[in-house]
Amino acid sequence: MSDSEARPTNFIRQIIDADLASGKHTSVHTRFPPEPNGYLHIGHAKSICLNFGIAQDYQGQCNLRFDDTNPEKEDIEYVESIKNDVNWLGFEWSGEICYSSNYFDKLYGFAIELINKGLAYVDELSPEQMREYRGNLTEPGKNSPYRDRSVEENLQQFEKMKNGEIEEGKMCLRAKIDMASPFMVMRDPVIYRVRFANHHQTGDKWCIYPMYDFTHCISDALEGITHSICTLEFMDNRRLYDWVLDNITIDCKPHQYEFSRLNLEYTVMSKRKLNQLVTDKLVSGWDDPRMPTISGLRRRGFTSASIREFCKRIGVTKQENTIEMGSLESCIRDDLNENAPRAMAVLDPVKLVIENFTGDAETLTVSNHPNKPEMGTREVPFTREVWIEREDFREEANKKYKRLVLGKEVRLRGAYVIKAERIEKDAEGNITTIFCTYDNETLGQNPTDGRKVKGVIHWVSAEAGIPAEIRLYDRLFTVPNPAAEDDFVSVINPESLTVMQGFVEPSLKTAKAEKAFQFERMGYFCADNKDSSAENLVFNRTVGLRDTWAKIGD
């Protein structure tokens, strides 16, 4: 990460400053604790930047810990993708990767301690009965008939659970707290359940697995975490976090701090909903460039610097809000406008023939960036036949139209001034060829007789241009808050992907995956990191040159 990226401040950093100043802590130790049950999304990027950024700025440590307590939904594929995402964003975790499953023996021991203290019991209520006994927000729950079992009986039944003698759903271990608590999370929460599932780290060693709320706080304590940072939906869970640590024998007592999660317009952040999009094949995979996943954004052409900048701009607060998609797109535009070399590509081609160009092909030298001479130049072949964008020509137009019009002149980018003389059409009336003449005195200079030519259009040599598949990505949903819909799938944008067959200049034949370019006048694009090759070029549009959605909302 660049040293020039300014160090932000927020309420969590102010707490850390105070803790260090008072001597409560002498160093800072954070963690990023994803569950490996899906790919990370832009919301996780905010948490990654916060936790790893704090450790970096305070010369502390940040663990990467997989909270892997739910083996049925977890997969080593997700573990690997998460490691790649953290590294790609520009961060390194401290020491070895941590897994909550590393602590299963200790977690089991703490469960036994709670049973021995009379603070946990084995319950045999069915899941339906448990919901009924739990009460609701206006009515207190009622005690399970199994709540007052003896310590000895609880130990015996828990041992049976561990030994695989109990069917799934028939027994669970619950903390004995308060069924009348106004906080639902404190109404004797389940802390262990039976699951006959192979675990990606521990195999078949266990058939009982601890619940997240029991595991998370103990994992923090075992790792010596000083500041346990999570999102606001876990605020009530802090009571259980503290209760567990207060009632087991453990030295470290981390404190949990909550900040607002990232909500982004025109997308969903629920892993369940994202998983549905993948499993129902509504997208091509977790890394589909329309997905808000880090791997999807990367494949689309977003840079790690632009995502870090986005996280810095939105800040860290306790206020829930929804960020406009334009804010994220503004960050990548700012980055690529500065750093992406220019190139020419024609997405919807129509042929243009320069009839008075009778010599051999010319090689023109074109700047890679109009404002950065240090980015150098490239050579572009200029031939008698070129491709231009179909929308860049009209048979007649008003004065506001600055492109090619029949009988009028325009400049080809980096080349000559041309004049449209006549056209040919097919049987359906579609223009197939535009015939032009060119002024061979206008390379790099204005017409000598003082004619003013205002328009400039891009082009690609028809002889030397390379065919390419161009994928135009747009918002995945048609409404700003699809999660609020009864059926979020019903508001998927049918035009979220448009595939075009175009032509690109020869220099792009060797474009590396994820390497960004500004296609002149068309937007920012990158070679697809899965499907593109020198034999079959595929380019993804990262973002347009300007925010067209902003106009729709006006």
Residues designated as active site? 35, 261, 271
Residue 231, annotated as binding a ligand: yes
What are the b/e assignments for 104-123, b being 16+ CB within 10 Å? beebbebbbebbeeeebbbb
Environment class of residue 208 by beta-carbon count within 10 Å: exposed (0-12), middle (13-18) or buried (19+)? buried
Residue 273, annotated as binding a ligand: no
Residue 458, annotated as binding a ligand: no
Residue 476, annotated as binding a ligand: no
Enclosing H/E stretch for 345: strand 345-346
Residue 262, annotated as binding a ligand: yes
Where do we find the tokens 């909903």?
273
Q: Are 169 and 181 in contact (CB under 8 A)?
A: no
Q: Strands 172-175 and 417-425: what pairing?
A: unpaired
The residue among 550, 44, 1 whose CA lies nearest residue 296 is 44
Give CA–CA dist 239/212, Å, rounded: 14
Residue 212, annotated as binding a ligand: yes
Residue 42, annotated as binding a ligand: yes
Residue 45, annotated as binding a ligand: yes
Give CA–CA dist 116/537, Å, rounded: 66
Where do we find the tokens 């739990």?
134
Residue 35, annotated as binding a ligand: yes
Residue 200, annotated as binding a ligand: no
Where do we find the tokens 């990370």?
40
Give CA–CA dist 168/172, Å, rounded: 9
Residue 44, annotated as binding a ligand: yes
Residue 541, annotated as binding a ligand: no
Handedness of CA 507, 509, 511, 516 (dihedral sign): positive
Residue 41, annotated as binding a ligand: yes
What are the b/e assignments for 79-89, b being 16+ CB within 10 Å? bebbeebbeeb
End-to-end alpha-carbon separation of the chain, Å? 37
Residue 67, annotated as binding a ligand: yes
**What number of other Cβ atoms are within 10 A of residue 284's Cβ?**
17
> Which amino acids are annotated as binding site for L-glutamine, given as ranges?
67, 212
Binding-site residues for ATP, in ranges, read: 35-37, 41-47, 231, 261-262, 269-271
Annotated binding site: 35-37, 41-47, 67, 212, 231, 261-262, 269-271
